[in-house]
Structure 1
């Protein structure tokens, strides 16, 4: 099984190091010199760690195959995977991006889009839902809003608070303000 452990960010310095978004609970075990990663897109890999170091809260990786900043720039956005037989986390409370991407996003029984990405942030994670119209909606990945994830049946159940989809859409805040002012006018 392939397990995603990081996403490559921007280059750091001139010797080909890159910043990475860590997506594992065990970075000390996963990012050691000599570790080889399967890379998505495949044209960017495989990559083998030459060096790993922390700069404040940011992990910097150097790869044997990358020597310059220009080469490092071509890796931006690439995903790093390891081959593993183990499950990193046995609890039912976590999912990896590769498990969620492509699942239907449902509000009740209505399909409102598909999961396009999972963004891991320090405070809370966000699901990106791509609607049939091509819009991307950011949904906080918290139990109150996403009470059910059913990978086996291929869907995520979302119970959005009023306006969530409108607020995150382009021009949504203005639409919401107009709706609020028209509702206030209706009471007169």
Structure 2
């Protein structure tokens, strides 16, 4: 099963090095020299990886120069993971663990079901089917305070406008503008 572990940013230097925005809590394992990843539909072998300015700079055997690296910008990097494997961190989840979870409010009221996980640059976002209407909820602790894989339920904070856009608070601009 493929699991998202990063997204390629800009090329770094002229030898094919790439800046990677991490989406894994195990970068030393997933980007270890010799490990294989999947990117843009093809398998790549990690040649080297090193931290740099809050990102990971990665070199792949198959990406020889800056031109080849620039073609990969924005692509998602995935690792092939055994479906039975669980992340080491208790607050980390693989997409397949989240998809299909029942979504409820804090009071237990049914909201819907998780149908997907979007890996956006700022943070992951849950796609939730709420009785035929898709709701996108940023997957951050303030909005998703509880995930119970065993009970197959995820709790979403009842923030005005989050689950019901019609209930969003409206801000009236100051007069004179």
- TM bin (shorter chain): 0.5 to 0.7
Query: Closer, same or farther in 2 for the Cα pair 1:80/1:52, shift >3 Å?
Result: same
How far off is 1:66 after superposition? 0.9
Task: Report the equivalent of 1:34.
Answer: 34
Match of 1:177 in 2: 171
1:69-148 matches, cutoff 5 A: 69-75=66-72, 76-83=74-81, 87-89=86-88, 91=90, 93-101=91-99, 103=101, 105-107=103-105, 108-111=109-112, 114-118=115-119, 126-129=124-127, 137-139=136-138, 141-142=140-141, 145-148=143-146
> Of Structure 1 and Structure 2, which has the larger fraction of its residues in strand?
2
Alignment check: 8 A CA contact 2:143 2:156 kept: yes
Q: 1:23 to 1:116 in 2, by over 3 A?
A: closer
Looking at secondary structure, tell me which structure has more helix per residue. Answer: 1
- The Cα shift of 1:156 comes to 3.0
Question: Structure 1 residues 29 and 150, CA, compared in 2 at 3 Å: closer, same or farther?
Answer: closer
How many residues are matched? 166
Whether the aligned pair in 1 keeps the contact of 2:8 and 2:20 (CA below 8 Å) is yes
Q: Name the counterpart of 2:45.
A: 48
Could you tell me whether the CA contact under 8 Å between 1:4 and 1:82 is conserved in 2? no
Change (3 A) 1:9 1:133: farther
Give the direction of change, closer, same or farther, for the CA distance of 1:6–1:102 in structure 2 (3 Å limit).
farther
Unmatched segments (≥5 aa) in structure 2: none
Moved over 6 A (4+): none
Q: Over the residues paired in the alignment, what is the CA RMSD in angstroms?
A: 3.8
Q: Under a length normalisation based on structure 1, what TM-score does the superposition of the two structures give?
A: 0.63
User: Do the aligned partners of residues 61 and 116 (structure 1) sit closer, same or farther apart at CA in structure 2, a change above 3 Å counting?
Assistant: same
For 2:95 and 2:12, the matched residues in 1 are separated by: 25
2:59 is matched with which residue: 52, 58, 62?
Answer: 62
1:17 partnered with 2:17: yes
Q: CA deviation at 1:113?
A: 6.8
How far 1:51 sits from its partner (Å)?
A: 1.8
